[in-house]
Amino acid sequence: MSLARLLPAALCVLMAWPLAAQARSDAAPGTAPGSNPLFRDKFTADPAPLVVGDTLYLYVGHDQAQRDEMFNMREWLVYSTTDMKTWTDHGPIMKVADFTWAKADAWASQAIEKDGKFWFYAAVEHDDTHPGKAIAVAVSDSPTGPFVDAKGAALVTNQMTPKGTHSWEDIDPTVFTDDDGTTWIAWGNRQAYIARLKPNMVEIDGPITEITPPHFEEGPWLHKRGDLYYLTYASLDRATHRDEKISYATAPSIQGPWTYRGELTGSGKYSFTIHAGIAEFKGDWYLFLHNAALTIGDQNGSIGRRAVTVEHLQYNADGTMKPVVQTEAGVSVPPPR
């Protein structure tokens, strides 16, 4: 979340709201397995897929904002699927309170498998000893947890990136293990950073390098396909400051140079934020996002009540990604061939 944070963001949302509210006479969302949103009994955000064998696990933040609250996120949830159509709810894997040094905000996360363990990286609000957002790391023997704080302290604090202009700069970790076995972590809001992780997975190894691509707002996601590295992220047009879209850059190496490739999606329905998570699963590629189109009882979707979605992701012959249209059918229909 970032929205030039908070106040400007709230204004943007409030200005956009009358339009969004008028549009809410759409038909009920599709019910075919694989249609969007994926989960309809809870508000979920910031999807992060992890493939383990024949199962895709999806880590999400739990949006618990009431009425006009902006964000109220206290825990992370995980779901799994073997067919992209039916999902198992494994419940919460961790709460912010499990990081004793953090005081709030179970924001975006990603889990990765390494050396037989599952490492979970997440943005939280640090306590007053290191004011601002921070990145936590937890570990488990199972993708469904239980996860425990792996370090007893933040992996990244706001004080470690002094160039940044705001306190929520160090959010939204994405982790990626390169072919040589080195794991990298990228993160950021307005500024994007990348650093190596030590083999112990709980310490930064060497310098933190700024890699901010055009229109970067937050939510970076690293992946590789063939010989090409991808940095996909939530982007914002600062002229209009309307809702985020997904943009991306590519590089021949994890260390760049990164070439901007433009927008991958439009905005998420009714949502200021959007957050990409990408995975290849059983031969097909998927782009997970969130929007704010879900209503549960008397609670409409909002900036702090989002719903995770998924679409097919396809590539051109040159490795660029084909623009993705967000749909209600989602992956209930086959990918275009």
Q: Point out which residues bind ligand FUB (CB under 6 A).
A: 1-2, 45-46, 61, 71, 73, 107-108, 123, 171-172, 218-219, 273, 275
CA angle 285, 291, 296 (to 5 degrees): 120
How remote is the C-alpha of 292 from its chain's centroid?
A: 15
Half-sphere exposure of 290 (CA within 13 A, CB side): 35
**Distance from C-alpha of 329 to C-alpha of 268, rounded to nearest angstrom:** 15
Shortest CB 7 distance to ligand FUB, Å: 15
Shortest CB 113 distance to ligand FUB, Å: 22
| Amino acid of residue 149 | D
Beta carbon nearer to ligand FUB, 220 or 227:
220
Helix (H) or strand (E) holding 322: none
Shortest CB 9 distance to ligand FUB, Å: 10
**Position closest to ligand FUB via CB:** 1
**Pair 282, 288: CB distance under 8 Å:** no
| Amino acid of residue 115 | D
Half-sphere exposure of 75 (CA within 13 A, CB side): 14
Beta carbon nearer to ligand FUB, 73 or 192:
73
Helix (H) or strand (E) holding 20: helix 7-22
Beta carbon nearer to ligand FUB, 97 or 333:
97
Shortest CB 226 distance to ligand FUB, Å: 27
Shortest CB 333 distance to ligand FUB, Å: 27
Beta carbon nearer to ligand FUB, 143 or 173:
173
Beta carbon nearer to ligand FUB, 84 or 292:
292
